[in-house]
Amino acid sequence: MNEKTQIQDIDRSLYDFRFDEDEGDFLDNGITPEIISEISDEKNDPDWMREFRQRSLEIYRRTPMVKWGASIEGLDVDNIVTYIRPKTRMNTDWEDVPENIKETFERLGIPQAERESLAGVGAQYDSELVYHNVREEVAQSGVVYTDLESAMHDPKYAEIIKSHFMKLVPPTDHKFAALHGAVWSGGSFVYVPKNVRLDIPLQSYFRLNAKGAGQFEHTLIILEEGSYLHFIEGCSAPKYYEAGLHAGCVELYVGKGASLRYSTIENWSKNMYNLNTKRALVEEGGKIEWVSGSFGSHVSYLYPMSILNGENASAEFTGITFAGEGQDLDTGAKIVHNAPNTSSYMNTKSLSKSGGKSTFRSSVVVNQNAEGSKSSVNCESLMLDSISRSDTVPSIVVKTDKCDVGHEAKIGRISDEAIFYLTSRGLSEEEARALIVRGFADNVSKELPLEYAVEMNNLIGLEMHGSVG
Amino acid sequence: MENTKLNILPVPTFGSLGVNFVRRDIEEYETNNKLLDIDNNTLIREDITGSSDYKINVKNNADAIVVQYVKVDGKALVDTQIKAEAGTRLKLVQIFDGSVQTVSRLNATLEDNASLELVLLVLGGNDTVCETVAALDGRCSSFKADIGYTLGSGDNLDINLIADHNGRKTDSQILVNGVLDGNASKTFKGTIDFKNGSAGSKGAEQENVLVLDEKAVNKTVPVILCAEEDVEGSHGATIGRIDDKQAFYMRSRGFDEQKLYELLARARLKQVIGAIGERQTESRIYKALDWGDYDEQE
Amino acid sequence: MSDILKITGLSVSAEDKELLHGVDLTIKEGETHVLMGHNGAGKSTLGCTIMGSPEYTVTGGSIVFDGEDITAESADKRAKRGIFLSFQNPIEIPGITLSEFLRNALEQVTGKRLKLWDFKKQLKAAMELIGMDSSYADRDLNVGFSGGEKKKAEILQLLILKPRLAILDETDSGLDVDAVKTVSKGIEEYRKSVGGTLLIITHNAKILEELKVDATHILANGRVAKEGDGNLAVKVLESGFENTLSGVER
């Protein structure tokens, strides 16, 4: 009972705290070849990576800004400090993590979560991995879970990283992919060998600190034939006065008959520009499942893409986006059916309130070689007031005849009858609305592990607070 | 005007999909200007064989039908502007019968309680670009669109339909039924835009596309924009062939694969043609489609 | 009378699972047979396989209709030969009205063009006979029909298409007493006017009351467990499968 009250009374400040900036030297604000070189020096990049970064910078400079979606006028990329190095180096033992950093994580509940059941923690504090630990049983199964930078130097993984890094999301993909290629820093590398099924989820919990910091972490996950993994990416960042940029990149390779579930609850502070690129390549009979909750950020562009590249490959996307005051969240998913008998299923919900704007944007492309494929998209939007906006912009491109593609979308409001019913049972109007919104979001919450579902419900509670009148 | 941007999607999306706009040369043709002032219950049939500029004003509680049958040998631009005064009803039937290159722009403004019913049929045609904007300005104004197309090899169609819900309690219903064969290519963009202040409005759109050839390309972009809480919007789309269970059911009644899709294709178009509700035009379309005797059809 | 249907050693699989293991079944023209068995015994599988459902793969044996091997034929060819399946769960076909569907289907199976007026007359009479409201003719086939209406629509198709062999897959299940009567009436009419052959899959004694059943086949676990004359069906309905199969009678 006591605990329940605590959850209900949870304070927004839990997600907004931060410590003073003392994490070491800033580089110059702008991005020049010299800065990129400095990053390479600092990280002791292998030659191919040095070249890769410089080439990406070139591409970045000549690539025009993206033309659709939310406005990113407030973002001055040249003034964003792209690289902040915390004073601590990699730690494998929790005891060695500096006190203030540790406290931050502790308030975010990471060690507890780990103690409870999580397999490993790769928590990124600003740009570097500060704490990293994989439980022994996970390591024994042959699963590699480490930070990408050190893996790159390990002869065991160097080649596989070189042959996969930004091959799925090339720097030419869009401007921020190019930026990412030039300045990426930190992130996770996961390798699951053939037929290994990891029953406990792996988790990476990273957050931004320090003013004006950009976060460019790179996640590379490779699943060999017949393997299974659930990876949870959670983000939470404190509040800043300057705009912050997050341009991470996630590349997922799902082998034959392998299955990957990738869950994210994103709660960046509400001045962040979240321009993340996520992509999965799925081979024959493989499966990718995305579970995605977008709550934070000032502006988001987020469309995880699944390329179904082998016969009978499948993709599922379950998402929720909650846009509140001052937020412009442009989210959705992309699916490419590129082999026969592939299937995709998309189910998304979005909410807009207090002047927030949410856009659901998707594309389903069924190529000519994808005969026998099936796709079903279902999106639902809820408007909580009349000063907000909710747009739905799906696209379907079909280049074959033998397929079955369906799409459904709805937009509406909370009915007065539902509110009346619940208030007649003793709930306050605010409670009633929060309850209905939680129910609306259950497509995502029921796909999440319990502790994350609880956190998401808390976030909804926070967002709904003061939503009446 | 060379390389004019047409059929612009109200909110651009991923450029690689190629659905944000089309470009066409719109030359200044000799244009046939026509003013139709409609103030009683009437039926007007217009045969359009070249570029035309129509102004249609509907007044005085009129309840009218206007049929524009467009069959042009060369390139043509057809502009139609409709002003529907309060309480009027207009059914506009636009038939594009196998044109070479036709650009059609339809703009309608509806006052209180006015209603516009559009029946748009595209029967083949190398290159047809249709833009339709219905501004539901008046309270309780309504817009219903029944759109049908049947396209074969070499045919291209791009439709951009926008229902702007400005007034309170406005209503839009969009049904699109289409058949693609050969290497036909079609883009349908349908936008329901609930502007702030359109409280109590409803909008629904549905597109069903039967794709009969692996070389056909279908693009469907059903957009809902919403800046008002008290509205209900929905859209749906089905693309491809019927499912295995439906196919087996039909085959067990004696239809082979080809017959089965012929019947389905015809049924989908019939649904739209039936919305015309005007014998002579319907019969003319049956003839154009080579469907046999109109009176012998259901 | 000659054999209209002769099934020999029929084995059938779906999704890599064998559902029928060497079924033999013969029906003479003009007879009425009843097919019984528990849920999952393979009754519907057999019915659908005779019709040529692509959901099932024949892995052994043959189906001979009117002296010709049709094992590999598509459903539409079988329909044209005069085989009809009344579906346990009739499928909804949006966009095509019942009347339009049936008229076209009739043209397919008979190969003859039909005057709209003549067809309408025929349809009206048949709908009246089975007590189906004429408004259903102009509604999309089975779309939004209740369970009972869907079953009636199947019987309506039976009466119009006049097949030589009709397989009725639990056409009477889930219906109230009056609806079962209507369905029985339709079947009777089919027997009377067409003189066709019937294979009836049922759990219900009611539907058999007015029919002279020539033979009963009991399926269990994908095999024919017992066969007999019309009295066997009655026995099963009175004593249950177990007792009938083990020879114990009350």
CATH label of the domain that carries residue C196: 3.40.50.300
Flag whether pLDDT at A238 surpasses 70. Answer: no
Angle between helix axes C147-161 and C116-129 (nearest 10 degrees) is: 130
* Distance from C-alpha of C233 to C-alpha of C247, rounded to nearest angstrom: 14
Nearest Cβ partner for B226 among A391, A398, A400: A391
Residue A186 — left, alpha, or beta (φ > 0 → left; ψ -120 to 50 → alpha)? Answer: left
| Amino acid found at B239 | I
**Residue B177 pLDDT:** 96
Position B282 in a domain: no
Angle between helix axes B257-273 and B244-251 (nearest 10 degrees) is: 100
Answer whether B227 touches A (CB < 8 Å): yes
Flag whether pLDDT at A131 surpasses 80. Answer: no
Nearest Cβ partner for A395 among B13, B234, B235: B13
Both tokens of A18, joined, read: 């931060």
* Distance from C-alpha of A334 to C-alpha of A314, rounded to nearest angstrom: 13
CA A406 from chain center: how many Å? 27
Contact state of C79 with B252 under an 8 Å Cβ cutoff: yes
Residue with the two structure tokens 């049924």:
B267
* Distance from C-alpha of B42 to C-alpha of B62, rounded to nearest angstrom: 8
Bigger pLDDT: A210 or A284?
A: A284
Nearest to A295 by CA among A217, A218, A234: A234
Among A95-109, A248-262, C167-181, name the one with the lowest average pLDDT. A95-109
Flag whether pLDDT at C1 surpasses 80. Answer: no
**Residue A94 pLDDT:** 57
Residue range C144-155: mean pLDDT, rounded? 93
Both tokens of C39, joined, read: 């849920």
Residue range C6-17: mean pLDDT, rounded? 94
A391 contacts in chain B (CB < 8 Å) = 11, 223-226
Flag whether pLDDT at A302 surpasses 80. Answer: yes
Task: List all residues 6 or more positions away from A386 whose beta carbon is below 8 Å from its beta carbon.
Answer: B196, B199, B227, B228, B229, B230
Residue range A306-329: mean pLDDT, rounded? 95
Flag whether pLDDT at A10 surpasses 80. Answer: no
A344 shares a domain with A310: yes
**Residue C114 pLDDT:** 83
Q: Are B235 and B222 in contact (CB under 8 A)?
A: yes
Both tokens of A86, joined, read: 């915390």
Answer whether B236 touches A (CB < 8 Å): yes
**Residue A287 pLDDT:** 98
Position A180 in a domain: yes
Confidence class for position C187, pLDDT limits 50, 70, 90: very high
**Residue B136 pLDDT:** 98
For B81, what's the count of Cα atoms within 13 Å in the CB-facing half-sphere?
5
A278 shares a domain with A425: no
Confidence class for position A297, pLDDT limits 50, 70, 90: confident
Residue range C167-184: mean pLDDT, rounded? 87
Position A5 in a domain: no
Confidence class for position A96, pLDDT limits 50, 70, 90: low
Among B9-13, B76-80, C72-76, C111-115, name the one with the lowest average pLDDT. C111-115
Q: Are A352 and A358 in contact (CB under 8 A)?
A: yes
Work out how many CB contacts closer than 8 A connect B with C.
83
| Amino acid found at A155 | P
Which secondary structure element, helix H or strand E, spans residue A333, and what is its range? strand A328-337
Contact state of C75 with B252 under an 8 Å Cβ cutoff: yes
ipTM of the complex: 0.91
Among A208-212, A395-399, B44-48, name the one with the lowest average pLDDT. A208-212
Flag whether pLDDT at A444 surpasses 90. Answer: no
Nearest Cβ partner for C104 among B246, B257, B263: B263
Position B122 in a domain: yes
Q: Are B260 and C102 in contact (CB under 8 A)?
A: no
Confidence class for position A82, pLDDT limits 50, 70, 90: very low
Contact state of A388 with B227 under an 8 Å Cβ cutoff: yes
* Distance from C-alpha of A86 to C-alpha of A101, rounded to nearest angstrom: 9
A424 shares a domain with A378: no
Confidence class for position A63, pLDDT limits 50, 70, 90: confident
CA angle at residue C220 from C11 to C247, to 5 degrees?
A: 135
**Residue C116 pLDDT:** 87
- Domain of residue C124, residue span: 31-52+74-246
Nearest to C69 by CA among C8, C110, C27, C18: C8
Position B43 in a domain: yes
**Residue A15 pLDDT:** 39
Sign of CA dihedral B121, B127, B128, B129: positive
A422 shares a domain with A408: no
Q: How far is B259 from chain C (nearest CA, A)?
A: 9
| Amino acid found at C214 | D
| Amino acid found at A340 | P
Confidence class for position A72, pLDDT limits 50, 70, 90: low
* Distance from C-alpha of B55 to C-alpha of B37, rounded to nearest angstrom: 8
Count of structural domains within chain C: 1
| Amino acid found at A205 | Y
* Distance from C-alpha of A176 to C-alpha of A249, rounded to nearest angstrom: 9
A446 shares a domain with A312: no
**Residue A438 pLDDT:** 86
**Residue C248 pLDDT:** 52
Buried b (16+ CB within 10 A) or exposed e, A341-358: bbbbbbbbbbbbbbebbb
Among A405-409, B184-188, B255-259, C204-208, name the one with the lowest average pLDDT. C204-208
Angle between helix axes B257-273 and C98-110 (nearest 10 degrees) is: 150
Flag whether pLDDT at A407 surpasses 60. Answer: yes
Q: First-to-last CA distance in chain A?
A: 29
Position C14 in a domain: no
Which secondary structure element, helix H or strand E, spans residue B179, and what is its range? strand B171-180
Confidence class for position A305, pLDDT limits 50, 70, 90: very high
* Distance from C-alpha of B190 to C-alpha of A196, rounded to nearest angstrom: 47
Nearest Cβ partner for B267 among C54, C55, C95: C95
Q: How far is C158 from chain B (nearest CA, A)?
A: 10
Q: First-to-last CA distance in chain C?
A: 35
A462 shares a domain with A328: no
Flag whether pLDDT at A115 surpasses 80. Answer: no
Position B272 in a domain: no
CA angle at residue B155 from B153 to B157, to 5 degrees?
A: 145
Residues of C with CB under 8 A from a CB of B: 51-55, 74-80, 84-85, 87, 90-93, 95-97, 99-101, 103-105, 108-109, 115-116, 157, 161
**Bridging pattern class, strands A144-147 and B4-6:** unpaired
Position A3 in a domain: no
Count of structural domains within chain A: 2
**Residue A78 pLDDT:** 58
Contact state of C74 with B248 under an 8 Å Cβ cutoff: no
**Residue A107 pLDDT:** 53
Q: How far is C141 from chain B (nearest CA, A)?
A: 11
A346 contacts in chain B (CB < 8 Å) = none
A465 shares a domain with A394: no
Residue range A106-133: mean pLDDT, rounded? 46
**Residue A205 pLDDT:** 56
Task: List all residues 6 or more positions away from B286 whose beta carbon is below 8 Å from its beta carbon.
Answer: B273, B292, B293, B294, B297
Chain B residue with minimal CA distance to A378?
Answer: B236
A461 shares a domain with A359: no
Chain A residue with minimal CA distance to B222?
Answer: A394
Contact state of A408 with B235 under an 8 Å Cβ cutoff: yes
| Rg of chain A (C-alpha set) | 22
Are chains C and A in contact at 3+ CB pairs closer than 8 Å? Answer: no
Report in angstroms the alpha-carbon separations of B212 from A366, A401, B17, B282, C74.
Answer: 15, 6, 22, 24, 20
Task: List all residues 6 or more positions away from C17 whose beta carbon is below 8 Å from its beta carbon.
Answer: none
A450 shares a domain with A400: no
Flag whether pLDDT at C212 surpasses 50. Answer: yes
Nearest to A290 by CA among A282, A181, A454, A248: A282
Q: φ and ψ at C158, to 5 degrees? A: -60, -45
- Domain of residue B89, residue span: 4-241
- DSSP single-letter state for residue B294: G
**Residue C28 pLDDT:** 96
Residue range C12-24: mean pLDDT, rounded? 94
Residue range A363-390: mean pLDDT, rounded? 94
Sign of CA dihedral A72, A77, A78, A80: positive
Residue range C199-207: mean pLDDT, rounded? 85
pTM higher than the cut 0.80: yes
Chain B residue with minimal CA distance to A356?
Answer: B227
Q: List Cβ<8 Å contacts ≥24 apart for A34-41.
A: A35/A82, A35/A83, A35/A183, A36/A182, A36/A183, A39/A82, A39/A83, A39/A183, A39/A185
Confidence class for position A79, pLDDT limits 50, 70, 90: low
* Distance from C-alpha of B175 to C-alpha of A369, rounded to nearest angstrom: 29
Chain B residue with minimal CA distance to C97?
Answer: B267
Among B235-244, C72-81, C200-209, name the one with the lowest average pLDDT. C200-209
Chain B residue with minimal CA distance to C79?
Answer: B254
Count of structural domains within chain B: 1
**Residue B285 pLDDT:** 96
Among A221-225, A264-268, A332-336, C164-168, name the one with the lowest average pLDDT. A264-268
| Percent share of chain C, pLDDT over 70 | 98
Q: Are B192 and B228 in contact (CB under 8 A)?
A: no
Flag whether pLDDT at A451 surpasses 80. Answer: no
A425 shares a domain with A342: no
Answer whether A406 touches B (CB < 8 Å): yes
Confidence class for position C240, pLDDT limits 50, 70, 90: confident
* Distance from C-alpha of A130 to C-alpha of A114, rounded to nearest angstrom: 15
- Domain of residue A457, residue span: 416-469
Q: Are B256 and C80 in contact (CB under 8 A)?
A: no
- DSSP single-letter state for residue C170: S
Position C202 in a domain: yes
Residue with the two structure tokens 């590129």:
A338
Among A160-164, A204-208, C78-82, name the one with the lowest average pLDDT. A204-208
Which secondary structure element, helix H or strand E, spans residue A294, and what is its range? strand A287-294
Position C222 in a domain: yes
Flag whether pLDDT at A464 surpasses 90. Answer: no
Q: What number of H helices and E strands is found in chain C?
A: 8, 12
Report in angstroms the alpha-carbon separations of A155 from A122, A145, A152, A160.
Answer: 21, 15, 8, 10
Low-confidence ranges of chain B (pLDDT < 50): none
CA angle at residue B194 from B188 to B198, to 5 degrees?
A: 145
* Distance from C-alpha of B202 to C-alpha of C103, rounded to nearest angstrom: 38
